[in-house]
Structure 1
Amino acid sequence: MLSHIRFLSGLALVALAVGMPASASVDSSPKPGGVYRLKPGLYVQKDVACAHAPNAAIRRYDGRAISDAHSRGCRARVLNRKGDRYTVMQSCVGAGAGAAKQVSQRQTVTVSDALTFTLQTRGPGTTYRYCPASMLRENLKGPTK
């Protein structure tokens, strides 16, 4: 058994020495942080497949705030924090592109873990989960999307 393990370890070293690609991918995306302890990137409603999510089910966290397809330049100002529950006043330009006015909204964001949050504005909240770029539809996979 030990000789079998040594043989396999030796094969791995040979693969590295000859420049063969590693079988595991390395996550080079940003680490969790910012206003909320969330991984920056795209999040999709928990009951919607990442690859088929309509714009209405997608939120973007950039470390400063959580935006949707119809907002940009968002900034969240924390009014109150109790554990993983944040009450914020979020201000955004109220359009995905072009000229628009600044819009502010009070939100409650509950961070379950670095990849999941619940957003509540009025009524019940909606839970979102992180979707890696490889799982998103093609027009959202690019680095600037």
Structure 2
Amino acid sequence: MLSRIQSLYLFIAALLAFGSMAFPFWTFTTDHVILFGDFMDVQGAGLIVTAGSIGGGILSPLTGIVALATIFLYKNRKLQQTLITLCFVLFAADLLAGLAGGHFLKQYLETKASSVSFAPGSGLFMLLPEPVLFWLALLGVKKDEKIATAYKRL
């Protein structure tokens, strides 16, 4: 179970998913600094900004939990492939929630301040390697399936 390379890929992806919750997704600068991330509320920003923040706060740990659970399902490779595909979907939803929330927060701040500068935060950069790790894990599971199928033929 732990000697398989896809377990390492899934573990690192889970760590990144959990770690992205601790850092801001976007950093906005007006007359003061505003951080946008998981469960970070900006008063008066609107429902979509709040939904993006809460959505990211739910989807990030859910991605990590599914990735960790997938490691222990090494005997059921078909289910493992399905869960890794689910991790791709959860990652995409997490990224979309953060980008949508950041976009609408930027629009809100532009109505309140004359100049708004923004930059992606480290929470966004922690999410970006996840699909590559999921893809590598999926390749490892498919390789295991190929080896097991060849072994059954003997």
Q: Please give the TM-score of this superposition, normalised by the length of structure 2.
A: 0.24
CA radius of gyration, larger in: 1
Q: Relative contact order (alpha carbons < 8 A, sep ≥ 6): 1 or 2 greater?
A: 2
Q: Please give the TM-score of this superposition, normalised by the length of structure 1.
A: 0.25
The structure richer in helix per residue is: 2
